[in-house]
Amino acid sequence: MSREPVSVVDVIRAKRDGRALTDEQIDWVLDAYTRGVVADEQMSALAMAILLNGMSRRETARWTSAMIGTGERLALRADRPTVDKHSTGGVGDKITLPLAPLVATCGAAVPQLSGRGLGHTGGTLDKLESIPGWRAELTIGEIIAQLGDVGAVVCAPTPTLVPADRKLYALRDVTATVESIPLIASSIMSKKIAEGADGLVLDVKVGSGAFMKDIDDARALALAMVELGHDHGLRVSALLTDMSVPLGRAVGNAVEVAEAVEVLRGGGPGDVVELTVALAREMLALAGLPGDPAEVLASGRAYETWCRMIRTQGGDPDAPLPRAGHVHVLTADRAGRIAGMDAYAIGVAAWRLGAGRTRKEDPVSHAAGVICAAKPGDVVAAGQPLLELHTDDGDRVPGALAALAGAVIIGQEATGQEVIDAAGGNATNAASRPRLILDTIRA
């Protein structure tokens, strides 16, 4: 048995004592962990030391390079500029679905290697798998061919992409080390850099339904990822966006696909349209491409690209989406204006209805989810629907209702005429809704 050139105990001790890791230590420990030479308990100790003592920009850049080096660089190039988007995850965050075909319609190639949902945040692949026939697993050859033909592909990461991250991500989840900004940033950016796109736009969520609850923490994470991209020759920018309220009105799988299709056909909720267009503009700017994505989206031309993208991956864009066997409506107990809506609580409710999973191997219900019949700023009359709970199993409803206790706050400031208008339809005040885009960070 050959002797390893570095001692894992020395690596752990160095970071435990607050010292910077050398390039040799970083390269070795990630390679050795991927090979199984470094045990889970040893990497757990190192991850905790990193959480407590941090890593410098140099260490984080080297850590990211070493992560990439454990697998294959995909180099998903095309005959037009390639640009990707990554979201840190939220509730009702179906933006990838309209965004990828929109940016492709505007002239870029969009390789979107996406993930599945866990807990209260949904997964893009779970949403798309509600489309009959659609498949997430593609070979590298299929991905490259679709990029050239359609201009957009949304699929699962290939097995050779940053294998160290798959092991380390699972380990961090069960050792209370998820919150480390260097480890979050390197996890996200190692995969995106390994894709080989020319540019990347980050959507860093902030609020109750996001991983980052505090804007200062979110800004620190965004800056770390932008710096990592710069250090690896990737053009990167980041938008900090609000996730205190669900995006759009649909939270789940098939219900989010249906809402994304509305947006692609030129309609849909205003906040989904706003964020889709803002991210598209940022992506096109990184790609050096002209054009107005708002006009393209309103025209419905991106819907044609969507249909081609879905068909190329075996799906039928015209097929009916799954529908829930049971719908429970939660109504307003009094009249007033919606003053708040807790994104986290609604995400948990959708999860309990069957839209999400507790473990990675759990199945999901494609029909389950929550429809927000009212949003902050809307005026409601007593008895008017607030939320629709969609599930295939009525026994799941009580758990979802428990999660929603206090999730919707009805204020007092609506006028009598507004309440009358609400009873007959809906009265809104966009000025009272949260600001969606909080900040932009560029290198």
| Among 15, 62, 85, 86, the one annotated catalytic | 86
| Among 65, 187, 208, 237, the one annotated catalytic | 187
In a shared domain, residues 119 and 225: yes
Is 76 a member of any domain?
no
Please compute, for residue 81, the number of CA atoms within 13 A of its CA located in the half-sphere on the CB side.
Answer: 20
In a shared domain, residues 136 and 236: yes
Q: What's residue 115's pLDDT? A: 86
What confidence tens digit (pLDDT) does each residue in 57-107 have? 999 999 999 999 999 988 776 689 999 999 999 999 999 999 999 999 999
Is 130 catalytic? The answer is no
What confidence tens digit (pLDDT) does each residue in 8-54 have? 999 999 999 999 999 999 999 999 999 999 999 999 999 999 999 99
In a shared domain, residues 48 and 93: no
In a shared domain, residues 56 and 153: no
| Among 165, 198, 271, 342, the one annotated catalytic | 165
In a shared domain, residues 36 and 91: no
In a shared domain, residues 308 and 419: no
Is 1 a member of any domain?
no
Is the pLDDT reported for residue 443 higher than 90? no
Q: What's residue 1's pLDDT? A: 47
Q: What's residue 363's pLDDT? A: 87
pTM: 0.93
What confidence tens digit (pLDDT) does each residue in 165-174 have? 989 988 998 8
How far does Cα 42 stand from its chain's mean position? 30
CATH number for position 387: 3.90.1170.30
What is the crossing angle of helices 96-105 and 254-264, to 10°? 30
In a shared domain, residues 348 and 239: no
Is 77 a member of any domain?
no
Is 375 a member of any domain?
yes
| Among 191, 219, 249, 357, the one annotated catalytic | 191
In a shared domain, residues 278 and 143: yes
CATH number for position 37: 1.20.970.10
Is 2 catalytic? The answer is no
Q: What is the mean pLDDT of residues 222-237?
A: 96
Percent of the chain whose predicted confidence (pLDDT) is above 70: 94
Provide the domain count of the chain. 3
Is 314 a member of any domain?
yes
The mean-pLDDT minimum among 93-102, 120-129, 200-209, 430-439 falls in: 430-439
The number of beta carbons lying within 10 Å of the beta carbon of residue 51 is 19
Radius of gyration over every alpha carbon of the chain, rounded to an integer in angstroms: 22
Distance CA 411, CA 338 (A): 6
Is 65 catalytic? The answer is no
In a shared domain, residues 136 and 266: yes
Is 89 a member of any domain?
yes
Is 145 a member of any domain?
yes
CATH number for position 284: 3.40.1030.10
Domain hosting residue 143, numbered range: 83-163+171-319+437-442
Distance CA 24, CA 63 (A): 10
In a shared domain, residues 130 and 45: no
What confidence tens digit (pLDDT) does each residue in 304-344 have? 999 999 999 999 999 999 999 999 999 999 999 999 999 99
Is 74 a member of any domain?
no
In a shared domain, residues 275 and 146: yes
Is 86 catalytic? The answer is yes
Is 165 catalytic? The answer is yes
Q: What's residue 296's pLDDT? A: 97
In a shared domain, residues 302 and 398: no
| Among 116, 120, 127, 172, the one annotated catalytic | 172
Q: Tell me, what amino acid is at 246?
A: P
Closest C-alpha to 354, from 322, 308, 316, 309? 322
pLDDT class for 120, splitting at 50, 70, 90?
confident
